């Protein structure tokens, strides 16, 4: 319960019926805009994958995947996906997607180790997307272009929602700013990473923080990132390592920064081997996904995930993600949220 953010004088601007209609509006409109902006086609995705192939996303490397035995396959173990970061790249190769085009899908996951609060749930739903790129596009400038196109789709969706429900007022700034995690550290050396995110988002409204996963000059990471999908070690045009990052916005309802998307240019062979070495995970080279990449059977790509429930929460001005999605919450959290005028589904 200590994780619960209790906004002062919170007022629900949409009732239950309007909220459900708004969720449908946002999901249908945004995914069409995302598809158009990045030239993506929808594909069907798995809820679970086989254990031991290196396909499941390791997130920060400590979260335990939900697993179960498959009776008709001799009790081999399957894992519920954490995300589809690696599966999507395998799918690009399987579908022979050309450079400049890509795929997106509805990803549904269970993350049993999440600390439940206003933004985090056991149930995760996001748009996972991945696009094929050329070698010359593995640059920071190309990454910035893609981020700006995604942000444009976010703002168009906000405009539609506010036109539909005029009691809502738009708050996203016209432009998104870019800053490297190392630059952010130098600006706020005495703050924690989350406090630095709050400070920069409060100032600029919407920010893409570059270079998530590598160690900064203070010897710490801004945030964890698995070593085998995003490229956080390649030095970019600004002289700092990192071809990945997070889209964050300042959310006035909760008065804090909120991450809407984690994304980046994916590892090539060189950065994969380096990052596995830096993280002491060279043994992963023997897994199926990694063998495919090292054998040049996978295309170069860029990709990420955009939280569906979280985006709906923000654009509908809700104070808790449980007002958007049906999940399991502690009884005391349900009771207090009801008292705070944010009843959980």
Q: How confident is the model at residue 296 (pLDDT cuts 50, 70, 90)?
A: very high
Contact yes or no for 58/182 (Cβ under 8 A) = no
Q: Position of tokens 């062979």?
A: 269
Catalytic residue among 63, 183, 223, 259: 259
Whole-number percent of the chain with pLDDT over 70: 98
Q: Which pTM value belongs to this model?
A: 0.92
DSSP codes of every residue in 113-155: T---SSS--SEEEEEEEEEE--GGG-SHHHHHHHHHHHHHHHH
Contact yes or no for 104/304 (Cβ under 8 A) = no
> Is 262 a residue whose pLDDT tops 60?
yes
> Is 228 a residue whose pLDDT tops 60?
yes
Catalytic residue among 225, 246, 271, 325: 246
Catalytic residue among 126, 137, 292, 309: 126
Catalytic residue among 35, 57, 323, 325: 57
Q: Are strands 206-210 and 177-180 parallel, antiparallel or unpaired?
A: parallel
Contact yes or no for 80/111 (Cβ under 8 A) = no
Region 295-307: mean pLDDT is: 96
Beta bridge partners of residue 77, listed in sequence order: 69
For residues 278 and 293, what is the distance between their CA atoms, to the nearest angstrom?
Answer: 18
Give, for 208, the enclosing helix (H) or strand (E): strand 206-210
246 part of the active site: yes
Q: Which residues contact 97 (CB under 8 A, 6 or more apart)?
A: 103, 131, 132, 299
111 part of the active site: yes
Contact yes or no for 173/206 (Cβ under 8 A) = yes
259 part of the active site: yes
231 part of the active site: no
262 part of the active site: yes
pLDDT of residue 1: 46
């Amino acid at each position: 319960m200590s994780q619960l953010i209790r906004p002062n004088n919170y007022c629900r601007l949409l009732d239950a019926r309007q909220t459900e209609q708004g969720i449908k509006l946002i999901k249908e409109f945004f995914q069409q805009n995302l598809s158009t902006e990045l030239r993506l086609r929808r594909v069907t995705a798995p809820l679970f994958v086989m254990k031991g192939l290196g396909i499941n996303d390791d997130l920060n490397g400590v979260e335990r995947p939900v697993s179960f035995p498959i009776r008709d396959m001799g009790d081999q173990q399957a894992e519920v996906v954490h995300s589809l970061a690696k599966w999507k790249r395998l799918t690009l190769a399987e579908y022979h997607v050309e450079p400049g085009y890509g795929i997106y899908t509805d990803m549904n996951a269970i993350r049993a180790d999440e600390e439940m609060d206003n933004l985090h749930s056991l149930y995760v739903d996001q748009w996972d997307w991945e696009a094929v790129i050329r070698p010359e596009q593995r640059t920071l400038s190309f990454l910035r272009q893609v981020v700006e196109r995604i942000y444009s789709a976010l703002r168009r969706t906000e405009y539609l929602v506010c036109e539909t429900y005029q009691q809502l007022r738009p708050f996203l700034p016209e432009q998104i700013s870019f800053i490297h995690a190392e630059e952010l550290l130098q600006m706020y050396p005495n703050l924690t990473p989350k406090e630095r995110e709050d400070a920069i988002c409060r100032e600029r409204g919407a920010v893409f923080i570059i270079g998530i996963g590598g160690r900064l000059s203070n010897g710490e990471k801004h945030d964890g990132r698995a070593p085998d999908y995003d490229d956080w070690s390649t030095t970019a045009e600004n002289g700092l390592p990192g071809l990945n990052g997070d889209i964050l916005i300042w959310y006035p309802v909760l008065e804090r920064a909120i991450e809407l998307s984690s994304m980046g240019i994916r590892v090539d062979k060189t950065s994969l081997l380096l990052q596995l070495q830096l993280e002491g995970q060279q043994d992963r080279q023997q897994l199926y996904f990694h063998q495919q990449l090292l054998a040049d059977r996978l295309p170069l790509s860029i990709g990420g995930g955009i939280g569906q429930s979280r985006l709906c929460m923000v654009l509908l001005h809700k104070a808790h993600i449980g007002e958007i999605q049906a999940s399991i919450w502690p009884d005391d959290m349900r009771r207090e949220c009801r008292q705070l005028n944010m009843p959980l589904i």
